[in-house]
Amino acid sequence: MNYTDVDQQLGNLVALLISSGQVTEDRLGDSLHPIELSPIKFWTLNHLVAAGEPLPLSEIAERLHCARSNATQLIDRLEAEGLVHRIHDPHDRRMVRAELTPAGRRRFEEGIALLEEPTHELRDMFDPAEREQLANLLARIRERWG
């Protein structure tokens, strides 16, 4: 195998990773469209639901693997839609937390129902061992480059 073959192979891998991520995001976005949620907004609400308490914006950024400024803009949009609101930390007023509103919880629950079909489709593409292997491989990329 020469350099050109390796270069082509890596190029194909990168193209597959990018396009797979995009088609996955598009499929989930199409499913969430009726309730005007993007996948990233849904996952943000998901993190707030899972935490069971308001989260600092810096922690939301970490959980979403994005820059804090991106998380701040995302919370701005969710707040404008009435799905979250900001509160100051009672122990450190400099720290701002995002809190899920009742409307945000309802929208999240609607999203769960809408994602049932694509979630099952994705599950059915791979057997359990393949899903675990794929998750481990993708996590390795994120850990090393993220």
The pair of three-digit structure tokens given for residue 126, joined into one six-digit string:
């791979």
Q: What residue spans define the domains of the chain?
A: 18-114
What does the pLDDT read at residue 1? 61
Q: Say how many C-beta atoms besides its own lie within 10 A of residue 123's C-beta.
A: 11
**CA 92 – CA 49 distance, rounded (Å):** 23
Q: List, for residues 32-81, the tens digit of each pLDDT value.
A: 999 999 999 999 999 999 999 999 999 999 999 999 999 999 999 999 99
The pair of three-digit structure tokens given for residue 92, joined into one six-digit string:
């450190």
Amino acid, single-letter form, for residue 23:
V
What does the pLDDT read at residue 146? 75
5 has a pLDDT exceeding 80: no
Question: Is 49 in contact with 100 (CB distance < 8 Å)?
Answer: yes
With 0-12 / 13-18 / 19 or more C-beta atoms within 10 angstroms meaning exposed / middle / buried, residue 52 is exposed
Fold exhibited by the domain 18-114 = Arc Repressor Mutant, subunit A (1.10.10)
Looking at 5-14, 45-54, 101-110, 121-130, which range is the least confident one? Answer: 5-14
What does the pLDDT read at residue 89? 82
Q: List, for residues 76-114, the tens digit of each pLDDT value.
A: 999 999 999 999 988 887 889 999 999 999 999 999 999
pTM: 0.87
Taking residues 107-134, report their average pLDDT. 97
Helices and strands in the chain: count of H runs, count of E runs: 7, 3
Averaged pLDDT score across all residues of the chain: 94
The pair of three-digit structure tokens given for residue 143, joined into one six-digit string:
């850990």
What does the pLDDT read at residue 3? 64
